[in-house]
Amino acid sequence: MRSRTTFASSLSRIMDDLSSKNSIKYIVYSSSIIFFLSLIFLPPIIGILENISSIDVIFQDPLLLSRANAAILQSFIMAFAVALLDLIAALPLAWLIARSRTRFVHFIDTLVDIPFLIPTAALGYSALLFWSPLTQPGFLLVFLLQFAFSYPVIVRVMVGELLNYKEVYEVAARTLGANPFTAVRTITLPLLKPGVIASFLLALARSLSETGATVRVAGLWENGPVFIFRVLDAVDIPPYLKNGVLVYVSSILMLTSVILFFLISLLAPKLRFPVKFVFPGIERRLSSPSAVKFRDILASLIFLFIVIFPSLFIVLPVMNALFDGTLNIALTGLDPWDKYWRTMLNSYSISLLATLLNIGFGLPAAVLIARRKLGKATPVFKALVSVPIIIPSITLGYSLRLFWGRYGFLHEYWILLFSHMAITYTYFVESMAAAIESIPIEIEEVASTLGAKPLIIFRRITLPLTKYSAFSGAILVFTRALGETGAAKAVARTQECWTLPILLVNWILSEATTASQKALGAGLYIAFSFVSLLALRLLTRRTK
Amino acid sequence: MPSIKLVNVTKSYGNVTAIKNLSLNVDDGEYVCVLGPTGSGKTTLLKLIAGIIKPDKGEIYIDNKLVNNVSPQERNVAYVPQYYALFPHLRVIDNVAFGPLSRGVRREDAYEISMKTLEMMRLSWRADSFPHELSGGMQQRLALARGLASGAKILLLDEPLGALDARLRVELRFKLKDMAERNKLTVIHVTHDQEEAMSLADKLVILRNGEIIQEGSPSHIYNEPASIFVAHFVGGANFFEGFVAEKDEYGSWIQLRNGPLLRVNDATRPVGEKVVVMVREEKTEILKMVKRVEGINLLTGRIEDIRFLGNFISYSILLDNGDKIVSRTPTIASIGRFKIGERVYVRLNAEDLKIFSYPSHGLYKELEVI
């Protein structure tokens, strides 16, 4: 025992000593950059560029071409509609949560994350069951669904912004004679603009990217990801045409999304809120207690009926499946449940590996960004890191399949792993970089003058202070990897390598699967993700 | 043993030169105060010595050893930034033990050293608290304790009293000096508070725009300021524009605006040169106009404002030639003697008047403390 501790301590001392060597620092940082470029950033770009010449064939099939163009256009129409309306609907609720202390609001606050935690493939099925008496699959249903799962993102971001916001400005405006509504419109909202823009972009990206749920509720309507999903499965399109049209749609979606995001993030901050005009009469009425009460009730109702109930509706058929014997068959692993459990194992092992690798190689990258170690190239690196979550994940998956497909010896499992790493890398690096950035640099500087070597500073100062963000970043990576449908669908060719979301979407779309099987499949999926998240949370609490 | 030497050090950030060709010697055990307005390069100077940033040009020596390429953790210099940068997630005792532990001291020894240091700083009773639970004064002592326990004999303090309230600031000044002397430390203490710097420093260094414009003992700098800026920045002073009207072996006559002549004991300037005459606020004497007074360096004017400052009273007088003069007199000597609007004589002594060349960019610009 004693010898082991001395071994461990001498090993850590050697590591500490090594960390102050410039060559070691150089190796660590450059390997994290090489990891990013060679496994995350460049493969999809090269994959698409190498096949760009295959686009030609699509012009031989004008029908397919116009269908593809329509799908691309619909992607952006839907994304803007969802992001905009979500923003309008979610702001009042964020307000309520940040400013009110009642028990009901506390309850709402805990409910908000639910649609975020439910894997979208299962969420889509739940929403379909909820809305099916009222509306058919199509544009409206897709809108309702995407509205539900982007909503929590906006609420979370805006609640965070509101809690950080110094209310003194609003108070000052009020004492100067502004109505509450005027104060919020002219003072608070303009100051929170970065948060508003960030949450709008997140909702936009989520809508552009989502595949697993959308494909189920789309009906005859198509956007980019749904189109790609269907073309991948289509049997009536010859392979050369398939390849051409997929490259065509993927490249346009990727390029347009990237351009759009950089344009919005560059131009939106220049957009001014209309703060110069004040309408005392209307705004006083809007600030009255009854108007506020009406707003709060309306926000809560929208939240409950459009977001929460459709998300949780799956509970009913799941309960049914628990008692009609489906559960017993599922647990024994008889056909088709043997496949179900195997894909679940696939999903968990891929998500876990992707999380660990992203932490290992993402940490140095986060330090590079937060401490601007690349000098003037830092903003460029930061922008490159944000690209993978901007582009629709199914297009990312497809281009990765083109790139890695050349390496025949590479087992499909690894390509799946790489694609899951690529779609989640940004989440960890960005949340970690933000956390490190929030530690005053003086703290690290002082530690170094007190004799601490770089690794000691990282271990004893930086990491303990950013632990919460590190864990939440890791959890985000894990849940996103677990719930990803689009990229997995584009990569997996053989059933052996299916992940759970692909299997589930297949089941839900298939006539051969019974309603009970569909419900239980989705229910178990949700239950397992909840349990694993809970386990992770408990684990993080214990290590505090 | 620990001395610090900087030779022709330059440091720029992009287009901004924070430190310009600066040379400085700090002897072993010396308490040096660096005084300068905001943005003069004080913090950059400390960070250069601590090794947190590297100079673009020049050499830095600690104990006569070139340390340009020595990392901060090997310099044995304790840097205490303005808001202390206490480690928020570590208890008081762990904050102090961080240094010794990082330097590889055995755990038991590290905590023993830390406890002793805390006792010296009268903080041992808060050893298990977290930094945010301490008062401002305690946090300041903890920051010092942490620096001391690391074994450093050089202490770099960036506005160490700046975050405290006025009364505590004055009280802790002398404790700081006391502690430095008892532990035989070499200290560089950066501040923009001229009173604090004057009362603490063995040597005072005046920094402006990244350059040292004067260094020496506080009394020397106060009495023999090298420039208008130093005279203005260190202690209150009055300035008058004028030109050398006449000169002889012992001194010269300076003609102020609209006529009045002042005799100064300085014969170095040629007749006709445009100059600025400086006199300290407390080196002025106000006389009542009850009887006619005659003599040289006697100006007349009207009291415009009276400010009560506790021990002192400050009178603003508009002179008949249009200049203004502020006179500071001990309260005990002048309370109740003068009223606003009263006409008075102001008498100045030739030996208290200093003359400077007229600044090329104007007197007003030179007096801007930026």
CATH code, B317? 2.40.50.100
Q: What is the CATH number of the domain that holds B96?
A: 3.40.50.300
Q: How far apart are CA A5 and CA A143, in angstroms?
A: 58
Final residue of a domain: which of B203, B229, B255? B229
Nearest CA of chain B to the CA of A33: how many Å?
25
Nearest by CB: A449 against B79, B88, B89: B79
User: Is B85 in contact with A452 (Cβ distance < 8 A)?
Assistant: no
Say whether pLDDT at B370 is over 50.
yes
Say whether pLDDT at A240 is over 90.
no
Task: Kindly state whether residue A342 falls inside one of the protein's structural domains.
Answer: no
Q: Encode pLDDT of A515-532 as tens digits.
A: 888 888 888 888 888 888
Nearest CA of chain B to the CA of A445: how many Å?
6
DSSP A52: G
Say whether pLDDT at A539 is over 80.
no
Say whether pLDDT at A540 is over 70.
no
Reference A61, options A219, A248, A251, A223; nearest CA is A248
Same-domain status, B63 and B208: yes
| Cα B82 from chain centroid (whole Å) | 16
How many residues are present in chain A? 544
Same-domain status, A283 and A373: no
Q: What average pLDDT does the segment A28-39 reach?
A: 93
Edge-to-edge order in the sheet of strand B4-13: B16-26, B4-13, B57-62, B65-66
Burial (CB count within 10 angstroms: exposed 0-12, middle 13-18, buried 19+), residue A146: buried
Final residue of a domain: which of A457, A476, A493? A493
- A144 is in which domain, residue-wise? 63-313
Residue percentage of chain A with pLDDT more than 70: 98
Task: Kindly state whether residue A274 falls inside one of the protein's structural domains.
Answer: yes
Task: Kindly state whether residue A525 falls inside one of the protein's structural domains.
Answer: no
Nearest CA of chain B to the CA of A267: how many Å?
27
Amino acid identity for residue A123 in this structure:
L
Q: Which of the pair, B224 or A13, is modelled with greater confidence?
A: B224
Same-domain status, B157 and B257: no
Same-domain status, A399 and A427: yes
Same-domain status, B295 and B164: no
Nearest by CB: B98 against A440, A447, A465: A447
Same-domain status, B101 and B212: yes
Contact A410, A420 (CB under 8 A): no
What pLDDT is attached to residue A1? 44
Contact partners, residue A246, CB within 8 Å, separation at least 6: A228, A231, A232, A398
Q: What average pLDDT does the segment B49-67 reach?
A: 92
- B358 is in which domain, residue-wise? 237-367
Contact B314, B307 (CB under 8 A): yes
User: Among B43, B98, B188, which would you mutate to test the A interface (most chain A Cβ atoms within 10 Å of its Cβ)?
Assistant: B98
Residue percentage of chain A with pLDDT more than 90: 34
Final residue of a domain: which of B229, B248, B278? B229
Same-domain status, A481 and A385: yes
Q: Would you call A212 helix, strand, or coil by DSSP?
A: coil
Mean pLDDT, rounded, of chain B: 89
Long-range contacts of B64-73 (CB under 8 A, 24+ apart): B64/B3, B64/B5, B71/A20, B71/A448, B72/A445, B72/A448, B72/A449, B73/A20, B73/A448, B73/A449, B73/A450, B73/A451, B73/A452, B73/A453, B73/B102
Residues in chain A with CB shorter than 8 Å from the CB of B146 are 446, 450
Residue ranges of A 440-479 with Cβ closer than 8 A to chain B: 440, 442-443, 445-453, 456, 460-461, 464-465
Nearest by CB: A449 against B78, B88, B89: B78
Same-domain status, B253 and B360: yes
Contact A446, B102 (CB under 8 A): no
Mean pLDDT, rounded, of chain A: 87
Q: What average pLDDT does the segment B187-205 reach?
A: 91
Nearest by CB: B102 against A445, A451, A464: A451
Tokens 């923003």 found at: A87
User: Is B73 in contact with A445 (Cβ distance < 8 A)?
Assistant: no
Please report, in angstroms and rounded to a whole number, the separation of the first and last CA atoms in chain A.
Answer: 25
Give yes or no for a cis peptide into A336 (omega within 30° of 0). yes
Same-domain status, B22 and B154: yes
Q: What average pLDDT does the segment A282-308 reach?
A: 88
pTM exceeding 0.90? no
Same-domain status, A259 and A173: yes
What pLDDT is attached to residue A110? 80
Q: How confident is the model at residue A541 (pLDDT cuts 50, 70, 90)?
A: low
Same-domain status, B180 and B258: no
Task: Kindly state whether residue A81 falls inside one of the protein's structural domains.
Answer: yes
Nearest by CB: A446 against B51, B85, B89: B85
User: Is B102 in contact with A446 (Cβ distance < 8 A)?
Assistant: no
Which residue of chain B has the CA closest to A443? Answer: B85
Same-domain status, A71 and A46: no
Same-domain status, A106 and A247: yes
Final residue of a domain: which of A493, A511, A535? A493
Q: How far apart are CA A132 and CA A144, in angstroms?
A: 12
User: Is A13 in contact with B47 (Cβ distance < 8 A)?
Assistant: no
User: Is A445 in contact with B98 (Cβ distance < 8 A)?
Assistant: no
Contact A438, A374 (CB under 8 A): no
Same-domain status, B137 and B57: yes
User: Is B81 in contact with A442 (Cβ distance < 8 A)?
Assistant: yes
What pLDDT is attached to residue A510? 83
Say whether pLDDT at A233 is over 90.
no
Task: Kindly state whether residue A6 falls inside one of the protein's structural domains.
Answer: no
User: Is A445 in contact with B99 (Cβ distance < 8 A)?
Assistant: no
Same-domain status, A93 and A131: yes
Residues in chain A with CB shorter than 8 Å from the CB of B80 are 446
A75-89, A107-121, A213-227, A231-245, range with the lowest pLDDT? A107-121
User: Is B73 in contact with A443 (Cβ distance < 8 A)?
Assistant: no
Q: How far apart are CA B81 and CA A445, in angstroms?
A: 9
User: Is A445 in contact with B85 (Cβ distance < 8 A)?
Assistant: yes
A167-181, A370-384, B33-47, B278-292, range with the lowest pLDDT? A167-181
Tokens 């590591």 found at: A15
Q: How confident is the model at residue B293 (pLDDT cuts 50, 70, 90)?
A: confident
Final residue of a domain: which of A449, A468, A493? A493
Q: Encode pLDDT of A319-346 as tens digits.
A: 888 888 778 887 887 778 888 899 999 9
Burial A325-340 (b: 16+ CB within 10 A, else e): ebbeebeeeeebbebb
What pLDDT is attached to residue A368? 93
What pLDDT is attached to residue A294? 92
C-alpha distance from residue B305 to each of A162, B59, B289, B321 (Å): 49, 52, 18, 18
Which residue of chain A has the CA closest to B49? Answer: A449
What's the number of domains chain A is made of? 2
Same-domain status, A279 and A355: no
Same-domain status, A285 and A399: no
Same-domain status, B133 and B224: yes
- Provide residues of B within 8 Å CB-CB of chain A: 47, 50-52, 71-81, 83, 85, 87-89, 98-100, 102-104, 146-147, 150-152
What's the number of domains chain B is made of? 2
Say whether pLDDT at A113 is over 70.
yes
User: Among A15, A444, A446, A462, which would you mutate to test the B interface (most chain B Cβ atoms within 10 Å of its Cβ)?
Assistant: A446
Q: What is the CATH number of the domain that holds A403?
A: 1.10.3720.10
Same-domain status, B98 and B209: yes
Residue percentage of chain B with pLDDT more than 70: 99
Which residue of chain B has the CA closest to A376? Answer: B14
Q: What average pLDDT does the segment B300-317 reach?
A: 91
Q: Strands, E, within chain B: which ranges?
A: 4-13, 16-26, 31-35, 57-62, 65-66, 77-80, 154-158, 186-191, 203-208, 211-216, 237-247, 252-256, 261-264, 274-280, 284-288, 298-308, 312-319, 324-330, 343-348, 354-357
Nearest by CB: B89 against A20, A456, A464: A464
Other beta carbons within 10 angstroms of residue A474's beta carbon come to: 22
A163-177, A233-247, B243-257, range with the lowest pLDDT? A163-177
User: Is B150 in contact with A465 (Cβ distance < 8 A)?
Assistant: no
What pLDDT is attached to residue A544? 41
B11-25, B194-208, B283-297, range with the lowest pLDDT? B283-297
Q: What average pLDDT does the segment A104-111 reach?
A: 83
Which residue of chain A has the CA closest to B94? Answer: A460
User: Is A450 in contact with B83 (Cβ distance < 8 A)?
Assistant: no
Same-domain status, A143 and A214: yes
User: Is A451 in contact with B147 (Cβ distance < 8 A)?
Assistant: no
* Tokens, residue A76: 């952006």
Final residue of a domain: which of B200, B229, B258? B229
Residues in chain A with CB shorter than 8 Å from the CB of B78 are 449-450
Same-domain status, B322 and B289: yes
How many residues are present in chain B? 370
Same-domain status, B28 and B149: yes
